Amino acid sequence: MRSFSFFWILFFFSWISLAQEKTPFATYDFSADQEYLKQLNFLKEKPSTKKHLNDIVLWATAHKDYETVISYFSKLIDLDQGNPLLYFQLAGAYGIRIDEISKFNALPYVSAMKSNFLKAHELDPRHTPTLMALVQVYAKLPGFLGGSFEKAKYYSDLLYEISTAEGLIAQGFILESQGETLKAKEKFTKAFVELSFLEACNSKINELYFRDKSQNLSYQIGSIGLYLNIDIQKSICALNYYLNNFNEYDNLPKEWVSYKLSLLYEKIKEKEKAVYFRNLTFEINPKFKPQ
């Protein structure tokens, strides 16, 4: 099973605000699922070993129960305080929860999210998903909550040194957050040049590039290409990678990936594929409506 990670931190804002669109997190009414609750209680009764705590996290994540995810990631950290991935995943769970609750109730979650990302970075300074998350956090938080374009730029520069394409995407994100849309597009365009391997769309090469990164990075790339008309073929390749590797632990709705693929194929006038993915969108979610 592919390891999962929380990365796409969308709180109080829309990532692709260039397109005035916000992709929602996947949700599930777990409180009405008696089978889920029964299995959760069964798992909670087991001894608090790393394996059993992780089983609870996986089960809760699959059913989008992020309060339980937060609680049991915290217990895992108590047993393994030197593990940067746990802090990163806990911070991401806080980020998702922020998007689900009122802004007033979200304030302590914001603080916890930020502190856990910072701890993850302290333990693993070269973990690129953490660096990207810190860029997003500091670029989008208001000043009274600790937001700072200067700090966002600091982390984007660190990211650029490790991964040029991701660093350019982060720089574009900051510029877009500052209202510098044209300059942001320049950065995103340069990032796509660095992603030349996507042109061939070789599954093995794609896996080699994306395997140590957030699964959501490929979605991000595809979304940028769609709404800014940057290299449609690479965007299609990136979203197909996401779709082909989708599983129950992902935090973005599958129908959004299919919908964006239909729009991309429309742009290059491949009507059969556009229709196929549009039909797939409504097959996945008959009530789907773009926001």
d(CA 3, CA 8): 15
Over residues 140-146, the mean pLDDT reads: 89
Residue 20 has pLDDT above 60, yes or no: no
* Both tokens assigned to 97: 């929860």
Domain boundaries, given as residue ranges, for the chain: 195-291
How deeply is 123 buried, as exposed, middle or buried, from its count of CB atoms within 10 A (0-12, 13-18, 19+)? middle
| Average model confidence (pLDDT) across the chain | 90
Question: What is the tens place of the pLDDT at every residue in 70-122?
Answer: 999 999 999 999 999 999 999 999 999 988 888 788 889 999 999 999 999 99
pLDDT band for 144, please (50, 70, 90 cuts).
Answer: confident
CB of 249 closer than 8 Å to CB of 4: yes
Over residues 161-188, the mean pLDDT reads: 96
Tell me which H or E stretch contains 224.
helix 216-228
The H-assigned helical ranges of 102-180 are 103-123, 128-140, 149-162, 164-177
Instruction: Quote the pLDDT of residue 25.
Output: 80
Q: Which of 134-138, 154-158, 182-186, 249-253 has the lowest mean pLDDT?
A: 249-253
CA 253 to chain CA mean position, Å? 11
CB of 154 closer than 8 Å to CB of 134: no
Question: What is the tens place of the pLDDT at every residue in 183-212?
Answer: 999 999 999 999 999 999 999 999 999 988
Q: Which CATH class is domain 195-291?
A: mainly alpha
* Both tokens assigned to 188: 């995103």
Nearest Cα to Cα of residue 17 among 168, 178, 144, 148: 178
d(CA 7, CA 61): 13
Instruction: Quote the pLDDT of residue 24.
Output: 76
Q: How many CA atoms does the CB half-sphere of 4 hold within 13 Å?
A: 23
Residue 159 has pLDDT above 80, yes or no: yes
Q: Produce one character per residue of 11-23: b if its CB has 16 or more CB atoms within 10 Å, e if not.
A: beeebbebeebeb
* Both tokens assigned to 152: 């966002």
Instruction: Quote the pLDDT of residue 9.
Output: 40
Over residues 254-270, the mean pLDDT reads: 96
Instruction: Quote the pLDDT of residue 21.
Output: 54
Instruction: Quote the pLDDT of residue 17.
Output: 42
pLDDT band for 8, please (50, 70, 90 cuts).
Answer: very low
Kindly give, in sequence order, each residue whose CB lies less than 8 Å from that of residue 143, ignoring residues fewer than 6 positions away: none
Instruction: Quote the pLDDT of residue 6.
Output: 39
Degrees (nearest 5) of the Cα angle 290, 203, 269? Answer: 45
pTM of the model as a whole: 0.89
pLDDT band for 22, please (50, 70, 90 cuts).
Answer: low
